[in-house]
Structure 1
Amino acid sequence: MKNKQAIGIFDSGYGGLTVFKSIVQKLPQYNYIYLGDNARAPYGDHSFETIYQYTLECVEWLFAQGCPLVILACNTASAKALRSIQQNVLPFKYPNHRVLGVIRPTAEIVGDFTESKRIGVMGTRGTINSESYLMEINKFFPEINVAQQSCPMWVPLIENDEHLHEGADYFVNKYVDQLLAKDDEIDCIVLACTHYPLLIPKIVAALPAHISVLGQDDIVANSLALYLEKHTEIEAKISKEGYSQFFTSGDPQAFDASASIFFGKEIVSSHASYVKGADED
């Protein structure tokens, strides 16, 4: 896509492909570049400083590929790096570029899905410990009570293609039970990790029927569509050929073998050799 500009989609690994799939379905006309930092995934247990550095390196790599707009389709990166990049990097180094995350779009609409005003948030340790959802939801819906639960085994289960097997049931039930023990009046659960939609059938099966489960894929796609309508100066820069490229900092063959689980169809990726640490896998 030389001399063409695309929307960049970034994730620490595969999970962002669930968001990317919905974005392409909603906005098929644009060009896209997806980057998974698989060589350094998962991000969930890393420090704020490490995740910020990794995320910034990947964002700058996407900028260098011709992406004026990058979506952090990763809750951990959105929680630990987005604000610093928006406030401390873009105004001084990339004033004509934009970086968006997945937490704010979810926080803006979550109030529409709860009657009890009590919701649960399930995510990685990094996302939960950041308390980003608590802060963002409080901005829009201060009356909502939020209970959180980290689910450290869910991403490894999904990335090792074990999420559909019976062995995953134990860890789904374990974390759901721990969340509901914190607040038995929850009527909506936010899946604050883009991997988790692949576990929705098991999560729903583990929950009482009155509790709804809210994934982020369609939420982020709808939010992006509204953003591009509002920010015509960014929208006008994006090439409109309906073309997508996929890159990974890890091994492309390994990435391609698992990516179809998340994206819904076969893809062919290339190695992002200029991401720092990409050759350390």
Structure 2
Amino acid sequence: MQGSIGVFDSGYGGLTVLKEIVAKLPQYDYIYLGDNSRAPYGNRSFETVYHYTLQCVEWFFKQGCPLVILACNTASAKALRTIQQNDLPKIAPDKRVLGVIRPTTEVVGEYSKTKKVGVLATNGTVQSNSYVIEIEKFFPDIKVTQEACPMWVPLVENNEHEGHGADFFIKKNIHQLLKKEPLIDTILLACTHYPLLIKKIIEYTPVDITILTQGEIVANSLADYLHRHPEIETRLAKNNNRVFYTTDDTLDFDKHAAAFYGEQVSSNHVDLSERG
């Protein structure tokens, strides 16, 4: 039996990744779940993020998804490895869960000539040190400098990302990052919300610095993964369907989701306390 590709995020940000995945691989069926009622994940403990993420992954499996993408940096940083190594062998050895950190870290070094890369992310992602650890595996000669941007996600979620308040925080965080390491020539936006701030990020970043967003990188990586893993690819339904779910209010989700996904969506409510 064939199933959809599950795409998960704590809120809306994963829709920026789904948008690029659908553009690259439109033939597949997709189910998106935003755990909006418990968002944001960025400041929560490792244990809490792991518990919430595993609950959502299990929900996707009950919907028949053979493959789930954690389109959330915090979930990828704090929960993915444990789910892959400890949980999947027990609950679903024939299914796969992938994240957004590894695909990004595999290529980020190809963009930097100075070997100095900056990472802008949530507190949780920065504290996990996941990008520092993973980039070092692929590019040991690169120095990674991180800057936590705790206000960026709330600005986007509250539809203030185009207002003057956003200018203050974006300018401040980019200045702090470049003050730590002036030779940075590549900045990775390590949060799926941040593409909505891209105009202001470009405005306050020197023109000779490359800014990388994750959506297209993750989409290309997924296409490559499916090519290399026909045992998963053949289990995916190809009816060009998209279904959206949220753990919070559907009208509110639909109103915000369009900004991230690029078109109107109509979501369904799911109560995870009912266990799928």
TM-score, with length taken from structure 1: 0.96
Matched to 2:220, the amino acid is N
Q: Distance in 1 between matches of 2:60 and 2:249?
A: 18
The corresponding residue for 2:28 is 30
- Aligned partner of 1:219 among 198, 217, 220: 217
Counterpart of 1:235 (choices 230, 233, 236) is 233
Looking at structure 2, the residues matched to 237 and 149 of structure 1 have their Cα atoms a distance apart, in angstroms, of 40
Q: Is the 8 A contact 1:11 1:36 kept in 2?
A: yes
Partner letter of residue 65 of structure 1? Answer: Q
Aligned counterpart in structure 2 of residue 159 of structure 1, from 145, 157, 160: 157
Do the aligned partners of 1:39 and 1:277 also contact (CA within 8 Å) in 2?
Answer: no
**What per-residue deviation string (whole Å, max 9, x for no partner) do you get for residues 49-84 of structure 1?**
000000000000011001010000000000000000
Counting matched residue pairs gives 275
Deviation at 1:276, TM superposition (A): 2.8
Give the Cα–Cα distance (whole angstroms) in 2 for the partners of residues 66 and 165 of structure 1: 41
Inter-partner Cα distance in structure 2 for 1:276 and 1:199: 33
Give the equivalent residue in structure 2 for 1:204.
202
Q: Which whole-Å CA distance do the structure 1 matches of 2:258 and 2:222 have between them?
A: 23
- Equivalences for residues 239-254 of structure 1 within 5 A: 239-254=237-252
Root mean square deviation, CA, Å: 1.0
Report what 1:7 is aligned to.
5
- Give CA-to-partner distance per residue, 1:129-177, whole Å, 9 cap, x none: 0000000000000000000000000000001111011221000001101
Determine the structure 1 residue equivalent to 2:18: 20
In 1, Cα distance between equivalents of 2:121 and 2:263: 26
Q: Distance in 2 between matches of 1:239 and 1:60?
A: 19
Worse-superposed segment, 263-272 or 158-167: 158-167
8 A Cα contact 1:40 1:277, kept in partner:
no
Segments of 4+ moved more than 4 angstroms: none
**Equivalent position SS for 2:107:** helix
2:126 corresponds in structure 1 to 128
Deviation at 1:223, TM superposition (A): 0.3
Q: Measure, in 1, the Cα distance between the counterparts of 2:274 and 2:235.
A: 30
Post-superposition offset of 1:4: 4.7
For 2:23 and 2:179, the matched residues in 1 are separated by 37
Gaps in structure 1 of 5+ consecutive residues: none
Write out per-residue CA displacement over residues 220-245 of structure 1, whole angstroms, 9 at most, x where no aligned residue: 00000000000000000001000010
Distance 1:167 1:79 in 2: 29
Aligned mates of 1:45, 1:197 — CA distance in 2? 20
The counterpart of 2:168, out of the listed 159, 167, 170, is 170
Aligned partners of 1:169, 1:266: CA distance in 2, in Å? 27
- Distance in structure 2 (CA, Å) of the matches to 1:179 and 1:143: 19
Letter of the 2:209 partner, please give it: I
Corresponding residue for residue 273 of structure 2? 276
Residues 2-81 of structure 1: pairs in structure 2 closer than 5 A: 4-81=2-79
Q: Distance in 2 between matches of 1:66 and 1:42?
A: 26
Work out the CA distance in 2 between the residues paired with 1:213 and 1:276: 39
Distance, in Å, in 1 between the alignment partners of 2:151 and 2:210 is 22
In structure 2, what residue type is equivalent to 1:143?
D
CA distance in 1 between partners of 2:22 and 2:270 (Å): 22
C-alpha separation between the residues in 2 aligned to 1:116 and 1:40?
40
Listed one character per residue, the Cα deviations across residues 11-34 of structure 1 (whole Å, up to 9, x for unaligned) are 000000000000000000000000
Counterpart of 2:108, as a letter, is V
Identical-residue share of aligned pairs (%): 60
Aligned residue in 1 for 2:260: 262
